[in-house]
Amino acid sequence: MEWKEEGEERPLSQRPEWSDVTPVPQDDGPNPVVPIAYKDDFTETMDYFRAVYFADERSLRSLHVTAEAIHMNAGNYTVWHFRRLILGALNADLHEELNFIKKVANGNPKNYQIWHHRRWVAEKLGSDATSKELDFTKKILSLDAKNYHAWSHRQWVLQELGGWEDELDYCKQLLEDDIFNNSAWNQRYFVITKSPFLGGLEAMRESEVNYTVGAIIAKPENESPWRYLRGLYKDDAQSWVNDPQVSSVCLTVLSAKRNTVFALSTLLDLLCHGFQPSQDFINAVDALKTPDLDQSDSNLATAVCSVLGHMDPMRVNYWAWRKNKLPAQTA
């Protein structure tokens, strides 16, 4: 195992520095509900862990045994708990601890305990840790760009420690790698609304609309940019309805007749908010109707619902419900 230091291949029971300790076996109670047997070296490590844990021995050798236990089983939160107590008692170098966590995280990138421990350490280091934390999360995200823990940690770092300068660029880069990455779209929204270096949502709106429209045209079947576009007009539905770029991107996608589901549902939402469609929209939707559909739908919104029910049969009940709930004056 590459993480083991030189000379530590001997079992704990044979190492002189542990000769004064009596290992403590797992207590499963008198009639164990879940009696289990252990693999030998794991058993031994955990027995020694329990010995120092129950004795509350907060020493360097205790720290080492928690490292061994963690490498074998990073999910054991009691081991992490005791490790934190030891780190505190030893006044340990927390920058070294960041290195330790990095090694463990490589094999366990979705483990709650590791991320929580990392946050605890970073909190103690404060802004000294900022660039390390941004680098660390970037590394994890380079292996899995949607790792929920990594994003949660990164958001915390930005809000508590700073480092916003390059975040919008980072989102842009991730979206270039994968325009479908919903986490990156979420982060983009987070940045434009919260970064102290940008002007806030309204100031960023125009450039963001341009960016998003480009993403939609590239992949109209991508759920994220459609939702993002709506999000740019948070609390201001009227501006969203009135922005010609919004309706125009719908028309562009509809006219191309491919991957039109989100364009149709966006058009439906626009119509429900009072959008007045030109003949172009009516023609575009007409062109998507199949012969078996009711050709006599009285208005565009009803027609859109019918087309959607046909195109997206998995959600046929949802589109039928939308049709029933159309406001009276919808075009």
Active-site positions read 110
Closest distance of CB 147 from another protein, Å: 11
310 binds another protein (CB under 8 A): no
Closest approach of another protein to the CB of residue 280, in Å: 26
Closest Cα to residue 132, out of 148, 149, 111, 153? 153
CB of 129 to another protein, least distance (A): 17
What whole-number distance in Å separates Cα of residue 132 and Cα of residue 138?
A: 10
Burial 163-192 (b: 16+ CB within 10 A, else e): eeeebbebbeebbeeebebebbbbbbbbbb
| Distance between CA atoms of residues 212 and 189, nearest Å | 11
Give the separation between CA 151 and CA 154, rounded to whole angstroms.
Answer: 5
Using alpha carbons only, give the angle 195, 196, 199 rounded to the nearest 5 degrees: 85
279 Cβ neighbours under 8 A, 6+ residues apart: none
Binding pattern for the stretch 120-139 against another protein, x by CB under 8 A and - elsewhere: x-------------------
CA distance 46 to 18: 14
> Which of 111, 132, 167, 231 is the binder for another protein (CB under 8 A)?
231
Rounded to a whole number of angstroms, the minimum distance from the CB of residue 324 to another protein is 12
Q: Which two tokens stand for residue 135?
A: 């680098």
Q: Is residue 14 part of the contact set for another protein (CB under 8 A)?
A: no
x/- mask, another protein, residues 152-191, rule CB under 8 A, reads: x--xx--x--------------------xxxx--xx-xx-
Residue closer to another protein by CB (options 77, 197) is: 77
Which chain residues interact with another protein by CB under 8 A?
A: 26-29, 31-39, 42, 50, 54, 72-73, 75-78, 81, 84, 112, 116, 119-120, 146, 148, 151-152, 155-156, 159, 180-183, 186-187, 189-190, 194, 222-224, 227, 230-231, 234, 313-318, 321
